[in-house]
Amino acid sequence: MKAFFFAPESPRPLALMRMAVGLIFLYDAAARWPYAVELYSSDGSPMPLFPQTAYSGTFFEPVAVGAAWTVVLHSLLLFALLTVTLGWRTRTSLWIAVALTVWMGLLDHAGTFKKYSVIGMHLMVLLSFSGCGAVWSIDRLLRSKGRLFVMLSPAWPRRLIQLLFVSIYFGAALTKIRLPDFANGDLLMFSLLDDQWGGGRWGLWFSTQPRLLILASIATVLFELAFPLLVWSSRLRLPMLVLAALFHIVLGVTMSLGIFSPVMLAALLAFISERDLSRGRALAIRFSRAESWTDFAAVNRTDCDLSHPNGRAARFRRRPVLRSRVLYLLIGGLWVAGGWAIQRVSDPYGVFGTPMPTEFHQMDEATVEKILADRSLSYQDYFHRIEIGSRLSSDGTHAFGERKRFQRGMTLFACARLIQKHPALDLEWLLIRSDGEEAHYSHRLDGASSHATVGFALTDAEQTPPGRYQLVLRAAASLLLEANQDDIEIWSRSFELVE
């Protein structure tokens, strides 16, 4: 256990994570920078995680400052994330980034304070106690004085990041197991259809594949249970990392999760070892035709040589840091001042003195009529999918088996999956023979029901002779049999019955 947490190791894997995390959160913060006044300042409309009206005297209650100070702090956050990526005053930059990320996140619970922001803050805190700035960084260039060796760092920050990662997987698996609608694919389906979590092209296509949804739901739980156990095996580590990377790439493509997938991919770098980086460098040298790779490899063979007798105890003379600190403060101040000046000149919210238009122009009558025009709602909008088959799942939410050709003795099952929320509906299933004879089954579906199923036994040769059949579903808020069927017909499907 002592060797597991405190053995000296190369800082390269965490240096890669530092650059990845810095870039990801720099992109996320830069996307919100134009709206900092609205999201975080007292002149905007912040949505704090612990509002004073609901949690009086809460210790974590954030204080929204004025527009000018908000722009200054948010610009400072961008500078800190940029210097984290570059590795300049790495530890100081990480602490500034964590403090400001927490502050801004608590002021905008709706849009900023998400699961990935909590994970990212943990990563940055643990990175601040590591040697992630000792290589591939400005700090390295300023302090090395041309030396090729870097100090090794203890393993415990990387180990804690690994434990954090596997605990996220394990907790997610336990949560999914407790949800009754996850195993049958319904939770995943509605998440893909949701405007906030889904809505993408591939996600919408995926939501129409019920069998793939079931397979993906079960595979997700199994993978999240298996990864925390198998990733520690030296033989299975790389395959599990590849599966985890593919898992988060698919999540990022099919669902709208913000920067969650990139953050988790960056956290996976905690499981990369120096040996893996050496193998990757060797492959790059083998397949690259650029001569610069040879020089890069020659430098890196001695840059962090774990077998070198002085690798752990090497101490280098630190060059004076006063110049670096002054330059850091100077460039940071210029960066913040520039951000404040840009916001002041543009002043999209009028908080810096720019006059804002206060008059509203009246719309013409044609536009008003177009907006307020009564649009009839189709009852088809309440149905997500309708399936037929020779078998029905235990929970009644899926139909499997034969779909187009049924044999004597089978039962035709039909399952309709509805979108929540929907009004109370009267459903009517019609089984129509080729000679026009019909079999009806009607029932009322309350607003809380998520699915409706029906079964027709194809056993009686007189009532259900061989031939072509059509199954029709009709629905309305108040089903009137004398109404026009075209107005309330939801779905129809034909099939063949053979002896």
Report residue 300's pLDDT band, with 50, 70 and 90 as the boundaries: very low
Strand, helix or coil for residue 416: strand
Whether 342 has a pLDDT exceeding 80, the answer reads yes
What sign does the dihedral 159-165-171-173 (CA atoms) show?
Answer: negative
CB 390 within 8 Å of CB 413:
yes
d(CA 360, CA 365): 15
CB 258 within 8 Å of CB 214:
no
Report residue 482's pLDDT band, with 50, 70 and 90 as the boundaries: very low
pTM of the model: 0.74
Domain end call among 328, 343, 363: 328
Report residue 260's pLDDT band, with 50, 70 and 90 as the boundaries: very high
Per-range mean pLDDT, top range of 198-207, 278-287, 307-316, 382-391: 382-391
Report residue 369's pLDDT band, with 50, 70 and 90 as the boundaries: confident
pLDDT at 230: 95
Whether residue 288 is found in the same domain as residue 187: yes
Strand, helix or coil for residue 210: helix
Label residues 305-326 b or e (16+ Cβ within 10 Å = b): beeeeebeeeeeeeeeeeebee
How far apart, in Å, do the first and last CA atoms of the chain sit? 70
Helix and strand counts by DSSP (H, E) for the chain? 18, 12
d(CA 213, CA 208): 9
Helix (H) or strand (E) holding 246: helix 237-254
d(CA 293, CA 65): 50
Whether residue 304 is found in the same domain as residue 420: no
Whether residue 192 is found in the same domain as residue 317: yes
Question: Does the bond joining 421 to the residue before it have cis omega, within 30 degrees of 0?
Answer: yes
Domain end call among 328, 362, 392: 328
CB 47 within 8 Å of CB 53:
no
Domain end call among 290, 309, 328: 328
Average pLDDT over residues 357-372: 75
More confident residue, 435 or 83: 83
Compute how many other C-beta atoms are within 10 angstroms of the C-beta atom of residue 224.
Answer: 22
Average pLDDT over residues 484-497: 77
Whether 466 has a pLDDT exceeding 60, the answer reads yes
Write out the residue range of the structural domain in which residue 403 sits. Answer: 381-498
Whether 456 has a pLDDT exceeding 80, the answer reads yes
Average pLDDT, the chain: 83
Q: Which residue has the tokens 């580590």?
A: 237
Whether residue 152 is found in the same domain as residue 73: yes
In-domain check, residue 343: no
Average pLDDT over residues 1-16: 87
In-domain check, residue 356: no
Whether 173 has a pLDDT exceeding 50, the answer reads yes
Whether 464 has a pLDDT exceeding 60, the answer reads yes
CB 202 within 8 Å of CB 254:
yes
In-domain check, residue 398: yes
More confident residue, 369 or 135: 135
Per-range mean pLDDT, top range of 158-167, 301-310, 477-486: 158-167
pLDDT at 130: 92
Whether residue 157 is found in the same domain as residue 222: yes
Per-range mean pLDDT, top range of 40-54, 229-243, 380-394: 229-243
d(CA 30, CA 268): 24
Report residue 162's pLDDT band, with 50, 70 and 90 as the boundaries: very high
Residue 129 CA to its chain's centroid (Å) = 27
Whether 57 has a pLDDT exceeding 80, the answer reads no
Whether residue 315 is found in the same domain as residue 387: no
The CATH number covering residue 418 comes to: 2.60.40.2550
More confident residue, 179 or 484: 179
**Residue 115: C-alpha distances to residues 111, 186, 264, 425, 479 (Å):** 11, 22, 11, 38, 46
**Domains held by the chain: number:** 2
Poorest-pLDDT segment among 189-198, 218-227, 425-434: 189-198
In-domain check, residue 255: yes
d(CA 237, CA 225): 15
Closest to 465 (Cα-Cα) out of 420, 431, 442: 431
**DSSP code, position 67:** H
Whether residue 300 is found in the same domain as residue 423: no
pLDDT at 267: 95
CB 84 within 8 Å of CB 124:
yes
Per-range mean pLDDT, top range of 307-311, 411-415, 460-464: 411-415
Closest to 267 (Cα-Cα) out of 7, 12, 20: 20
Beta bridge partners of 432: 438, 470
pLDDT at 193: 80
